[in-house]
Structure 1
Amino acid sequence: MLRIVRLVLAVAITATAALGAARLTAPAGGGISPQLAFLRAELESGAAEQAQELFPEGYFFLYALYGLTAVDEGRADDARWALTHLESDAGRAPFGGDMPLRYGVFYRGWVNWLRGGIVSLSRDPAEVRRFEQDSAEIAAAFDGSPTPYLVSYPGQAWPVDSTVAMASLRLHDKLLTPKYDVTTIVWLANVRASLDPATQLIPHTADADTGEPTSGAQGTSQSMINRFLPEIDADFATQQYTRFRTWFLDAPLGLGPAVREYPVGFDGPANVDSGPLVLGISLSATAVTIGAARVHGDASLATGLSQFGEVAGLPLSTPWTKRYALGLAPIGDAFLAWSKSARLWVATPPAEPPSRHISMWWRLPLLTLFLAVGTAPWLLRAALRRRRLTVSA
């Protein structure tokens, strides 16, 4: 019986290692539809309400990312269903207070971006009118602000939220009569004048009154900013993405690629957005960077991050659904689905994608580890058998 147990254990270890090696080298596929099916079931079972208990935008982000991924997949009805929940009392609940832009730029920017995506799929007259109205209100807030970074909550400004809102104005100008070129030009000029001095990247937080950085660039916001900047201005986006790659791309212990929460050479505490930091790596920033790499035409990085995620993310598939981390954190599944479905809504893909690549050898350390783990049980069995034969002789 002991021999049988040992044999079964050895086979299981080897099979697990072989599966890891296969996931690391095979295309990171499986499609987006199974992920959306899992997320829809979770949302209908109260996952958004549970996420809200974990961080302030949990409810909002689960529905928003589901809706945005649905737009990427051409599923207007699913996106509209998500928008209905964002515009409910529960969706607006965290965004109260006295702010120049009602509900704050976080709420208004993401909702306007999603509504614009729905308009791009289905020109419903009511949605078009609402998109025009909300875009005008957002543009007026930017035009009347002394800083490029509008507040998300009273007295608090995160530049990433203004980046999303500005992208929604660019989407308006693509889909409908262009109106906001000047607003965009002024915004870009003001952003360039208020970059993080250490990295020359858009900062993580800014003073709500002056727009001056109050904290340096961080991976969670940078990954998101670089997802939206190509929709606003291609040249500035390329400059920022190149710096982001230089300061935040990492492979601790030779395992990666992955994305840091703080720039190379800097350290700091974990936060509710980054999640736990392992050797400085933020899993949420790493997941979102898949989408940023895709819209920048950085295929090698997008593929590498996706394949690494297929190993580290512990995916579980059924004939109908796919989930990561055994489905214990649906918000992570939402970010991954949105990132893996990423495409440009406003801009056109570059005719010649950037000539930046990650080394093709990044998989070697992990493949070596899988080989060692997979063969270890059999080498141990062979060593024990040889010892028994020696003792018997």
Structure 2
Amino acid sequence: MKRKATLSLLALLTALWATFSFPHYHYPAPDELHRKARYLEQQLSARSNQPSDLTRLEQLNPEWGLFSLSYAAYAFTNMAQLDSTFRPEAAKYVQLAIEKARTGRIPQSFQDIDAAPFTDSITSVLYLGHLNLMLGCHRLLNPVSPYRTLHDSLSASLHRRLAAVPGHCLESYDGGTWVPDNTVALASLHLHSELTGSPYRAFCQQWFSYARQHLCDPATGLLLSKPANRHQAAEEPRGSHLGWSIAFLYRFAPTFAAEQYQLYQQHCSTNFGVLRLYRERAGDYTTDIGDVDSGPLVLGFSIPANAFAFSNAVAMRDFRNAQRLRRVISIGGREIEADDALHYGVRFVDLPVSPMAEALVLHAETMTPWRKSSVIQ
């Protein structure tokens, strides 16, 4: 009798494991996406002197404010690719994001750009890369975008500086250079080429060929977080940076992105069947408070590593793995709905990350190619 009960329990557990392991990820329904976009639109439409989640986040960390704006713009662009009827709204929302990124506290927080924000005196590839990609998104959505001249001049400046600097990686802050921030700038140059026929696409190809040889960890083949230069030593590959880099490599070097995605899984993840978890560093099982990029580490696993891996899985159409990662995000988040708008809070702790979390997740769950052929001429 006991043996029968044991066998029945094992059969039930096996069935449950199969139920949760095998279903594949599907893009959310349009209604759900639009309710999420509505929350972000409310944040973008709020005046700078009005209390809002975005204003509070900018005050806490201007970098997070920038990411809220840029990832919202990328998410809206994804949505317009998936649903052409959303294009006019997407163009409107991206323009709101661009205007907030160009004014106020965010640009003032980046070195040397408060006085002359769109000249060669700008040093931060972090700021300029995201701004230029947002400009490209608006031009993709609206071929007569009022930002065309700015997009052309900023792309020319980024290309000139990237081509001239040793190692082809620009600084985000004085003395600090990160590979993932440069992948955003390169994605912006590739999109400019797609839209205008400019020659920057060729430089993007040269960059990832260079990266394969000089910007990857010899032991794992994964992209470094920081390149070695006269200001800094190289920093090992990190999950919170790798997933970010892969998401933008996908825009200009999809084959290289796919290679990095496979290596990322091989060296930094553990498959539990129902879930797949990603570590911040290969072979590191540390539990501690982490840092500003990784957040808390539990046995080496970090929240950002898993969140960005989710965007990678959707981009690579690895929908079975995407579903596992979506479950991880669902465990840590709770839905909040008000005024026909949907956003998320962090479960278990009071962590003020809205609207950045919403923008990142909406971008991840809608990852899709940006095609010029879908632009309405």
Per the TM superposition, whether the score is higher than 0.5 is: yes
**Aligned equivalent of 1:65, options 46, 63, 71:** 71
Q: Is 1:94 the counterpart of 2:113 in the alignment?
A: no
Q: Is 1:262 the counterpart of 2:311 in the alignment?
A: no
* Deviations 1:359-384, CA, capped at 9 Å, x for gaps: xxxxxxxxxxxxxxxxxxxxxxxxxx
Which residue does the alignment assign to 2:116?
Answer: none
Report sequence identity in percent.
22
Larger radius of gyration: 1
5 Å matches for 1:308-387?
308-317=328-337, 320-325=340-345, 328-330=352-354, 331-345=356-370
* Deviations 1:124-144, CA, capped at 9 Å, x for gaps: 253222211111111001111
Aligned-partner Cα distance in 1 for 2:291–2:274: 23
Which residue does the alignment assign to 1:187?
Answer: 207
* Deviations 1:3-43, CA, capped at 9 Å, x for gaps: xxxxxxxxxxxxxxxxxx99x97967362221222233345
Shift of 1:73: 2.1
Shift of 1:178: 3.0
Aligned-partner Cα distance in 2 for 1:343–1:35: 17
91-100 or 134-143: bigger deviation: 91-100
Which residue does the alignment assign to 2:292?
Answer: 272
Number of aligned positions between the proteins: 325
Which residue does the alignment assign to 1:51?
Answer: 57
TM-score computed with the length of structure 1 as normaliser: 0.74
325-334 or 215-224: bigger deviation: 325-334
User: Gaps spanning 5+ residues in structure 2: where?
Assistant: 1-18, 81-89, 114-118
User: Gaps spanning 5+ residues in structure 1: where?
Assistant: 1-20, 349-393
* Deviations 1:328-387, CA, capped at 9 Å, x for gaps: 531222211111121122699xxxxxxxxxxxxxxxxxxxxxxxxxxxxxxxxxxxxxxx
Could you tell me whether the CA contact under 8 Å between 2:41 and 2:93 is conserved in 1? no
Could you tell me whether the CA contact under 8 Å between 1:110 and 1:165 is conserved in 2? yes
CA RMSD of aligned residues (A): 2.9
Could you tell me whether the CA contact under 8 Å between 2:193 and 2:199 is conserved in 1? yes
Aligned-partner Cα distance in 2 for 1:208–1:289: 28
Pick closer, same or farther for the CA change 1:185–1:27 going to 2, 3 Å: closer
* Deviations 1:295-343, CA, capped at 9 Å, x for gaps: 1121111122123322332223457122222695312222111111211
Pick closer, same or farther for the CA change 1:101–1:157 going to 2, 3 Å: farther
Secondary structure of the structure 2 residue equivalent to 1:157: coil
Aligned-partner Cα distance in 2 for 1:140–1:162: 14
Secondary structure of the structure 1 residue equivalent to 2:334: coil
Could you tell me whether the CA contact under 8 Å between 2:155 and 2:188 is conserved in 1? yes
TM-score computed with the length of structure 2 as normaliser: 0.77
Q: Is 1:109 the counterpart of 2:129 in the alignment?
A: yes
